Chains A and B, each alone.
Chain A
């Protein structure tokens, strides 16, 4: 069982917007602004798309945005494109149990 909870799957049509939630507790998501999001395509390594809740690394499209409210972080992808299809993982710094890093179980995004 993952420390952070994500929906198993989401879907949307090209051009639409989708939001993926990531729920934790006050010892991780809610307690620190150290939430990051990763995109992973089949057979590939994860790629950082959002860090520190809402910051985009250089080269990442502004169609990707992040936010946080309480113990829940969210990733929004606007203007869905076919190449956005893949798995998305949230991660957060944690002080629960092992001091370190926890991930969500991942969300499979299907572009219809």
Chain B
């Protein structure tokens, strides 16, 4: 069974940093693209970033470019999202998702909540 478990969400002040993690199991992690998608409270889905199988290709939505960095660790079957210079508008549930191709996801984690507030 495919499982994606996110962690690292927290309350952080504007300008602060946070690192999200996603531990994958139940599938061969190294052959899939992986994505981060977020959902602000009461709002729709927004793609944040994705990364290819070996980490050589990374793409970001414009609003997080230069502030967020996506990475993965094959040995730990884990996906990460380093978030710096956080803003109030980054407040959301962040989902980790398995992506058979760059623009679709067939398995999602339960999400981790990030709140940016003073």
Partners in one complex: yes
Spell out A's residues near B (CB within 8 Å). 2, 34, 36, 38, 40, 45-48, 51-52, 57, 89, 91-94, 97-106
Closest 4 CB pairs of A and B: A93-B103, A101-B47, A45-B108, A106-B44
On chain A, the residues within 8 Å of B45 by CB distance are: 38, 40, 46, 89, 91, 103, 106
Spell out B's residues near A (CB within 8 Å). 35, 37, 44-47, 49-50, 59-62, 65, 95, 100-111
Determine whether the beta carbon of B108 is less than 8 Å from that of A93: no
Determine whether the beta carbon of B104 is less than 8 Å from that of A51: yes
Closest to B100 in A: A51
Closest to A103 in B: B45
A/B pair count, beta carbons within 8 Å: 70
Determine whether the beta carbon of B106 is less than 8 Å from that of A45: no
Determine whether the beta carbon of B106 is less than 8 Å from that of A94: no
Q: Bound complex: CA of A102 vs CA of B44, how far in Å?
A: 11
On chain B, the residues within 8 Å of A105 by CB distance are: 44
Determine whether the beta carbon of A36 is less than 8 Å from that of B44: no
Determine whether the beta carbon of A51 is less than 8 Å from that of B106: yes
Determine whether the beta carbon of A101 is less than 8 Å from that of B95: no
Q: Bound complex: CA of A92 vs CA of B103, how far in Å?
A: 6
Q: Which among B61, B101, B106 is the interface contact of A34 at CB below 8 angstroms? A: B101
CB distance from B65 to the nearest CB of A (A): 8
On chain A, the residues within 8 Å of B100 by CB distance are: 51
Determine whether the beta carbon of B59 is less than 8 Å from that of A98: yes
On chain B, the residues within 8 Å of A103 by CB distance are: 44-47
CB distance from B32 to the nearest CB of A (A): 14
CB distance from B114 to the nearest CB of A (A): 16
On chain B, the residues within 8 Å of A102 by CB distance are: 47
18 A/B residue pairs, CB under 8 Å, sorted by A: A34-B104, A45-B109, A46-B105, A48-B106, A51-B100, A52-B104, A91-B103, A92-B103, A98-B62, A100-B60, A100-B103, A101-B35, A101-B47, A101-B50, A103-B44, A103-B45, A106-B44, A106-B45
Closest to B35 in A: A101
Q: Which among B49, B103, B108, B110 is the interface contact of A36 at CB below 8 angstroms? A: B103
Determine whether the beta carbon of B104 is less than 8 Å from that of A98: no
